[in-house]
Structure 1
Amino acid sequence: MDLLPIVKSINDVLWGYILVFLLCGTGIFFTIKLRFVQVRKFKEGWKRVFGGLSLRGERAGKDGMSSFQALSTAIAAQVGTGNLAGAATAIASGGPGAIFWMWVSAFFGMATIFAEATLSQVYKQRIDGDITGGPAYYISKGLNSKFLAGFFSVAIIFALGFMGNMVQSNSIGVAFNTAFGVNPVIVGIVIAVIAGFIFIGGVGRIASVTEKVVPLMAAFYLLGGLIILILNHTNVLPSFKMIFVGAFKPEAVLGGAIGISVKQAVRYGVSRGLFSNEAGMGSTPHAHAVAKVNHPGEQGTVAIVSVFLDTFIVLTMTALVILSTGALDTGATGIELTQNAFSLGFKSLGNFGNVFIAICLLFFAFSTIIGWYFFAEANVKYLFGNKHLNIFRLLVLICIVAGSALKVDLVWELADTFNGLMVIPNLIALIFLSSKVSTSLKDYESGNYKLKDY
């Protein structure tokens, strides 16, 4: 029995319709309930992020990590292959207008992620001496539903810890094979060895790596993209025009023969955007939960900035490079389209475009592996405590090596399925605990609160 078409059909419905409405609806709900918190608190969040910017912060430990380290760990997971391949897939499937709908979904997602980060702080716990938290904790304690919490934990362990990390290592293996001709298995083994060293170091080593890698990788990628935009500066404004016109009249940008409708632009823009910035998915709250802050609302404002940086900065850069270089005319999609765009942008430098993307993909996907492992580990702790962590680490490393060697389409589709399944219990908890978020925000804005001792 061939499971691939069945799983694909499930994902088409799950990500194409159900989750798009649920995630956007939740974002709109929190935007209204929290009185446009993503606008009102954006400046504060920005100051908290860049006011504490450091590549060498205080070492994280059993009491958690700094707010910036937590943000870096969250962004490490958010800024991954989705920013390189996700934007390309959205444009290829929904036209340039899909990027506009990515921005719309991200705007509302900023309110959702504020709620996630706040709740993760409110319900964080100390387990076997370590501070930890995330949706499983606010589902079990806030909703008093161990079943939904367990369902979420199992889904995220499979979605991110196992299948998701296979997808990430596969992306690195393919990119390095294309750019340098290196055997993907060798790439996978090297990645697994380095990742294993970081995993064993626990939260301290993970925080230390992400706070250094994330700012540097983002700066490197944005610099490369900016150089291409400067070289193609006459096409930048027309690219923005394609995005805004294509959002409402795709045929005016691509021509009616392409057959892309407004519905497709919305569907692919929203779904790929949400998949990229992870707002509402329940993944990044694990990082925000362990931040050492004075009030849950503080980390909520920081979380808002993570979605902005992921979608409005990094993902938009990918889109502009694709549109300004004319790479869309090559007919490619996914990471191949992004590679074509950078190759065209750096065509005077020979194969540099492919090499540039391979290096970026290494950092983006590897940092995602670290972030996703951390998120999945928090749920292993929720289910079993610390006693089975070494077994879990070993299984993740096996998946990394296996993923680099094999591109199993079923694994990619199942990763999407489990990603979708973990969203549902998280959104249920967010909606039913929305009054807790609102109360926490009011308490934070009053400035009259007592610190909680963990």
Structure 2
Amino acid sequence: MDLLSLVQDINGILWNYVLIFLLCGTGIYYTFRLRFVQVRLFGAAFKKAFGGLNLFGERAGSDGMSSFQSLATAIAAQVGTGNLAGAATAIAMGGPGAIFWMYLAAFFGMATNMAEAILGQVYKTRDDHGQITGGPAYYIRDGFGSPALATFFSVAIIVALGFIGNMVQSNSIADAFHTAFGVPHLGVGIACGLLGAFIFIGGIGRIASVTEKMVPLMAGLYLVGGLGILVFHAGSLIPAIKSIFIGAFDPVAATGGIIGATVKQAMRYGIARGLFSNEAGMGSTPHAHAVAKVRMPAEQGLMGIVAVFIDTFVVLNMTALVILCTGVLDGKTTGIALTQAAFTVGMGAFGNPFVAVCLLFFAFSTIVGWYFFGEANVKYLFGTKGLMPYRILVVGFIILGATLKVDLVWELADTFNGLMVLPNLVALIGLFKVVAKAVSEYEEDGKLKAH
């Protein structure tokens, strides 16, 4: 057996079985133990997130960034190629019913993401330059009490997101622009690398400033385009929604046999792609939530609920509905090509360039977010002296990724993604009482204010 086949087999077991159960199990555990906190505090979460929405907030500095800037940085990382290609892959492999299982995974993931954000806040600290930092490595070490697991997590996330993951993102941008506009892959890679370098060197202030503007604009652009298509295909909307719920339990009935999917496949692809997209429980977004300037940890926990909701129920859901309403599901096309086909039916010749531009925003914002997450772990392992070598390496990987598509590299990205999840989930379960206390204090504070 060659190395690629071996890694593929490991990923098949890791992502299709082990991590599905662990990630969903953690979400279910938190949902029931916190009495459906994502439902009870849903209104409060959205009020907190958008009550004082400002695309030109106060510049982030050594004391961190605003709660909205932290939310935007988290969403920047969560809303990526998975929202365009992941939803399409799930439907192509598992039928429309896969989207139902995506919904379910996201519902439980909202509780997990809230817990991660709270722990990021509780165990945040300052680096050797006095700047606020935090993330799973800190709560694994200081809360869970395992420096070894914290180091393992840090190494895995730097490789998974900072290096290999950002190669995947730049490759997606380069492919889309080459297909839509004929731009050379290397040219796209260099442009992305230079723009990335400009943002990275600006530190937390520039990262927060970019994400708070980019995220609302990119999401707005994509949703307006998608809604326009749904309006023109309004007659297909109710059948499309029905097919999602019917297909969850009877995939053949939902597709008329076009896709020979089983209920098991619908569950597997829906849950796996959904978790991969919204990142709940993976240990990535707590780095953004940790640096938010909030009065109580649970206030930022609310942003964790909002982030998963926007990623799955808003953006990813739009991709799914456009694919199902335009009738492009043929049992052969998958991934980004299926999404492009749907938007081409909906928008004509403008569809392909539209998807390419959206992919640029989605993937590049993920590069910024993932760089930032890796940076927190470089500081954890090496202090601030490790930042400049890390920045140079990330820019190099961005440029290289645009020109290189090696299956083994892409599979290794999935492997390291999976490896970083394990220590994070162990700590999440172990630190439940810390999360429960933070939620309780927040709710008590709300009752006192009400009186």
2:376 maps to 378
The Cα of 1:360 is off from its aligned counterpart by: 0.2
1:282 maps to 283
Q: Does 1:165 align with 2:178?
A: no
Q: Please point out which of 411, 414, 418 is paired with 2:412.
A: 414
- 1:427 is paired with a residue whose SS is helix
Give the Cα separation in 2 of the matches to 1:415 and 1:346. Answer: 33
The Cα of 1:330 is off from its aligned counterpart by: 6.6
Task: Tell me the TM-score normalised to structure 2 length.
Answer: 0.98
Q: Please point out which of 432, 435, 438 is paired with 1:434.
A: 432
1:452 maps to none
Counterpart code for 1:219: G
Q: Please point out which of 324, 341, 360 is paired with 1:362.
A: 360
Alignment size in residue pairs: 446
Give the Cα separation in 2 of the matches to 1:84 and 1:399. Answer: 22
Q: Please point out which of 396, 399, 407 is paired with 2:397.
A: 399
Q: Does 1:38 align with 2:30?
A: no
Give the Cα separation in 1 of the matches to 2:381 and 2:139. Answer: 14
1:115 maps to 115
The Cα of 1:144 is off from its aligned counterpart by: 1.2
- 2:384 is paired with a residue whose SS is coil
The Cα of 1:134 is off from its aligned counterpart by: 0.4
Matches within 5 A, 1:17-416: 17-128=17-128, 129-256=130-257, 258-329=259-330, 331-347=332-348, 350=349, 352-416=350-414
The Cα of 1:409 is off from its aligned counterpart by: 1.1
- The alignment yields a C-alpha RMSD, in angstroms, of 1.1
Counterpart code for 2:226: G
The Cα of 1:448 is off from its aligned counterpart by: 8.7
- 1:363 is paired with a residue whose SS is helix
The Cα of 1:257 is off from its aligned counterpart by: 7.0
- Summarize deviations over 1:233-274 as a string: whole Å, max 9, x none: 111111001101000001112245743110110010000000
Give the Cα separation in 1 of the matches to 2:308 and 2:71. Answer: 10
The Cα of 1:295 is off from its aligned counterpart by: 0.3
Give the Cα separation in 2 of the matches to 1:396 and 1:139. Answer: 25
Counterpart code for 1:365: A
- Summarize deviations over 1:308-332 as a string: whole Å, max 9, x none: 0000000000000001001112721
Counterpart code for 1:411: V
Higher alpha-carbon deviation: 328-337 or 128-137 = 328-337
Give the Cα separation in 2 of the matches to 1:71 and 1:235. Answer: 34
- 2:62 is paired with a residue whose SS is coil
Give the Cα separation in 1 of the matches to 2:9 and 2:378. Answer: 30
Counterpart code for 2:24: C
- Summarize deviations over 1:325-371 as a string: whole Å, max 9, x none: 01112721011110111011112xx2x11100000000000000000
Counterpart code for 1:71: L
Counterpart code for 1:58: E
Higher alpha-carbon deviation: 440-449 or 359-368 = 440-449
Give the Cα separation in 2 of the matches to 1:186 and 1:400. Answer: 12
The Cα of 1:212 is off from its aligned counterpart by: 0.3
Identity rate of aligned residues, in percent?
Answer: 68
Counterpart code for 2:441: D
Counterpart code for 2:57: G
The 8 Å contact of residues 259 and 331 in structure 2, kept in 1 or not, is answered as no
Give the Cα separation in 2 of the matches to 1:308 and 1:282. Answer: 17
Give the Cα separation in 2 of the matches to 1:61 and 1:37. Answer: 31
Give the Cα separation in 2 of the matches to 1:339 and 1:257. Answer: 20
Give the Cα separation in 1 of the matches to 2:272 and 2:149. Answer: 24
Give the Cα separation in 2 of the matches to 1:337 and 1:121. Answer: 40
Q: Runs of 4 or more off by more than 3 Å in structure 1? A: 255-258
The 8 Å contact of residues 167 and 398 in structure 2, kept in 1 or not, is answered as yes
Give the Cα separation in 2 of the matches to 1:259 and 1:177. Answer: 33
The Cα of 1:228 is off from its aligned counterpart by: 0.4
Structure 1 gaps of 5+ residues are 450-454
- 1:283 is paired with a residue whose SS is coil
Structure 2 gaps of 5+ residues are none
- Summarize deviations over 1:143-168 as a string: whole Å, max 9, x none: 11010000000000000000000000
The 8 Å contact of residues 101 and 248 in structure 2, kept in 1 or not, is answered as yes
The Cα of 1:3 is off from its aligned counterpart by: 1.4
The 8 Å contact of residues 95 and 259 in structure 2, kept in 1 or not, is answered as no
Give the Cα separation in 2 of the matches to 1:185 and 1:9. Answer: 32
Counterpart code for 1:321: V
Give the Cα separation in 2 of the matches to 1:242 and 1:270. Answer: 17
Counterpart code for 1:7: V
- 1:62 is paired with a residue whose SS is coil
Counterpart code for 1:94: G
The Cα of 1:4 is off from its aligned counterpart by: 1.0
- 2:132 is paired with a residue whose SS is strand
Task: Tell me the TM-score normalised to structure 1 length.
Answer: 0.97
